[in-house]
Amino acid sequence: MAGKRYEDAVKRYDREHLHSADEAIELVKSLATAKFDESIELILRLGIDPRKTEEALRGTVALPSGTGRVVRIAVFAQGEAAIAAREAGADLVGADDLAEQIEGGMLDFDVAIATPDMMPTVGKLGRALGPRGLMPNPKTGTVTMDVAKAVNEFKGGRVEYRADRFANVAVPIGKVSFSSEDLATNLNAVIDEIIRVKPATAKGRYIKKVGLASTMGPGVKVDHSAF
């Protein structure tokens, strides 16, 4: 059924047309026909070389309208930091015991946060956390002494972005059920952040392609000249 819905959606618009951001948001919402509240993702192709350290983009951005999803957070901390993490609403808090669970295959969380002193323990989990993009990193604010602040931010709508090896960045900007205004606010927040962190060494056009898509829907091209 999902395949037929996708094919029907593709027939309803011109896949090559470059839409304004507002038009694209409306179109993506109208093309989302799944029986659940689909996420909407912003996809950017950038004029960078991610193989160069200075052009390997990675960071976080706060979505003003939130993400619309429940974010499960694991925190590696001990003592007072562990208490603060629990009080802030972290779903899993621990040290060696949490590491053991993860080594055993438990990956029931979306974000991992660690205090700096826990990084030797966390570093041994690279094989489990790395491929899923869950390894705590100072660049994304997930290695920090202030774990409570980090938990609150990620629960409240902070998301991570990262350029893959093809210079693509994909960031969720909300749900189909969001108002178009809220989705536009989140989209602009992401674009502003990506422009803010443009590497000084990046040559030529920086934002090369922009697209939007819902979880089960087809991609809609956005006129990137506006950015």
Alpha-carbon distance 226 to 28, whole Å?
A: 19
pLDDT band at 1 (very low <50, low <70, confident <90, very high): very low
CB atoms within 10 A of CB 225: 9
Alpha-carbon distance 211 to 219, whole Å?
A: 6
Instruction: Please write the tens of the pLDDT for every residue from 130-175.
Output: 999 899 999 889 999 999 999 999 999 999 999 999 999 999 999 9
pLDDT band at 2 (very low <50, low <70, confident <90, very high): low
Full set of structural domains in the chain with CATH = 15-67+158-226 (3.30.190.20), 73-155 (3.40.50.790)
Instruction: Please write the tens of the pLDDT for every residue from 173-196.
Output: 999 999 999 999 999 999 999 999
Termini Cα distance of the chain: 37
* Tokens of residue 154, six digits: 């990620």
- Mean pLDDT score across all residues of the chain: 92
Task: Give the residue ranges of DSSP H helices in 109-169.
Answer: 119-123, 126-129, 147-156
For the chain, the C-alpha Rg in angstroms (whole number) is: 19
b/e burial code for range 200-219 (CB count within 10 A of at least 16 → b) = eebeeebbebbbbbbebbbb
pLDDT band at 9 (very low <50, low <70, confident <90, very high): low
pTM as predicted = 0.81
